[in-house]
Amino acid sequence: MNRIEELRAYITTMEEDFMKFYEKGNNAAGTRARKALQGLKKLASDIRNEIQSKKQEGKAQ
């Protein structure tokens, strides 16, 4: 369950930049939001790989 909290925290940190970009038109915030989304993509990929590894361990036992 720690990974879920990690995802929630990551998304919460991105929220401010999204608001600044979409509501105020701050282009720098848009750049930060895109960078954060790239980090989210990496985090999601890491979690997917972890899940797959755990599934494979379960089959091997």
Which sequence spans correspond to the domains of the chain? Answer: 2-60
Cα 8 to Cα 2, 17, 24, 27, 57: the distances in Å are 10, 15, 24, 24, 27
Helix 2-24 vs helix 27-60: crossing angle, to nearest 10: 160
Q: What is the DSSP letter of 18?
A: H
pTM: 0.79
**Cβ atoms within 10 Å, residue 17:** 20
7-55: per-residue pLDDT in tens?
Answer: 999 999 999 999 999 999 999 999 999 999 999 999 999 999 999 999 9
